[in-house]
Every structure is written in C-alpha cells, then in structure tokens.
Amino acid sequence: MNNPWKEIELSDYENHMKLDSVKQLQAMNSMMKEQFDRYPIKSVMILGVAGGNGLEHIDTEKFRKVYGVDINSRYLKECEARYPDLADVLECLCIDLMDESIALPYADMVVANLLIEYIGYQCFQNAINRIRPAYVSCIIQINTDDSWVSDSPYLSVFDDLDRVHHQMEEKELADAMKCIGYSLTEQTEQSLPNGKKLVRLDFCFVDQY
C-alpha cells in the first residue's frame, strides 16, 4: 500500500501548516534555528525535510554536510530548488524509513520534526541505530483534544494519514530513546493557537557525556 505522504501536495501541506489558526510552519521554523545552533556539529540529517522549512538557518560556515531525507521525491526537488545557496552542502535522499534494508549515512545530529508520528517509535529507533549520531533533536505534537489535525480548508487532504499516524507522548519517546543508548538532555515546548503544542526533546548518545 502506498504511503499517503507520497500523494499529498507540498503546497496543500504548507498552506495548511502556516494558517493563522495553525502556525506550525512558523513555530517549527524558529525552533529549527535553535536545533541547528545548539550543538558543536559539522553535519546534520533532517528526517522528513519536506520542502525545506528551516533550511535558511543553515550556516554554511558551520555545516559541511546537510542531508535532507523524505519519502516524497517531489518535495525534495522543491527543497533543492528553494535553496540553491546550499548546493555545496545539501544532499537530498528519497528514502522510505520503513525499509530497514536501506543504508543511511552518518551525521553528527539527526533532526526529526513531526516525523515520528508517521513512522512510530520502533521505526525511529531503527533509523537512529543505522545512523548513530551524537545528538538527536525531535519535535513532536502534543494534542489537547481528540483531533490531531487542526481544522482548516485543507483538512480533507490529510484524511488518509489516519492509517499511518501514531499518537505521541514525551515519556514514551524518551523511554524508546533510552533503550538504544540516548539520554534526554533538554525539553522545551511552544504553544500553538489551536490549543495544541510542539514539544522539542533533545537526546545525547551516552558516550558523548
């Protein structure tokens, strides 16, 4: 069965995310700057990069390599087109993270924002085990009601995501990461207009202490 993220148009996704009643695109953008600036790293892999929201914060004096990973090849083409100034450091990889046979290159840090919801904890653990970064920074959405997609004119576009969506909990993610050798080092959150919130959890591989 085809992954529903291959069918969703990037314009529909981004227009939904940046609505004044949602503002997830804007919130995640500012949070990504903090992610990129936080650690002494030279390379980063962004899982679920989509159209590249936040990549304008990449400092090419700091980063030697940026991997943008997504299951949708059209998203990646748009990402590359939007950031020609990153051509020397950005490498986009069209990868289905559910396929554990696909090798993933090493990066000092993995950024996974609003991604784990769609692959689950175990698949995320497997991906991190294949990369083995020093740092992992995740943003998950915490819902205060039964609806995990905010109401908008684009709501019907996301109907098929129900079959791949996993409800996220901070403690469950921290426990899953602890099982593969990563310790929670930092947790912050940002409220959204619709009562939901984005929670950023940062992890460090225990050997890095």
The string of pLDDT tens digits covering residues 39-65 is 999 999 999 999 999 999 999 999 999
Q: Which of 23-27, 91-95, 135-139 has the lowest mean pLDDT?
A: 23-27
Give the DSSP letter of residue 54.
Answer: T
Listed residue (17, 53, 50) closest to 35, CA to CA:
53
Which tens digits make up the pLDDT trace of 117-142? Answer: 999 999 999 999 999 999 999 999 98
> Any idea where the domains of the chain sit in the sequence?
4-208
Position 145 confidence tier, pLDDT thresholds 50, 70, 90: low
The correct answer on CATH 3.30.470.20 for the domain covering 4-208 is no
pLDDT for 209 beyond 70: no
Beta bridge partners of 46: 68, 111
CB 74 within 8 A of CB 46: no
Neighbours of 186 (CB within 10 A): 12
Number of H helices and E strands in the chain, helices first, is: 5, 7
Q: What pTM was estimated for this model as a whole?
A: 0.93
Distances (CA, A) of 143 to 49, 82, 120, 140, 169: 22, 31, 16, 10, 10
Burial class (CB in 10 A: 0-12, 13-18, 19+), 43: middle
Mean pLDDT, residues 19-47 taken together: 95
Which pLDDT does position 144 carry in this prediction?
A: 67
Determine contact, residues 74/139, Cβ cutoff 8 Å.
no
Asked whether the predicted pLDDT for residue 178 surpasses 50, the reply is yes
Res. 164: pLDDT tops 90: no
Helix ranges, the chain (H): 10-17, 24-38, 73-82, 116-131, 170-179
Does the pLDDT at position 152 exceed 90? Answer: no
- pLDDT band for 154, please (50, 70, 90 cuts): low
Secondary structure letter of residue 127 according to DSSP: H
User: Is the pLDDT at 150 greater than 80, yes or no?
Assistant: no
Pick from 182, 138, 135, 139: nearest CA to 39: 135
**pLDDT value at 153 more than 70:** no
Tell me what the pLDDT averaged over the chain comes to. Answer: 92
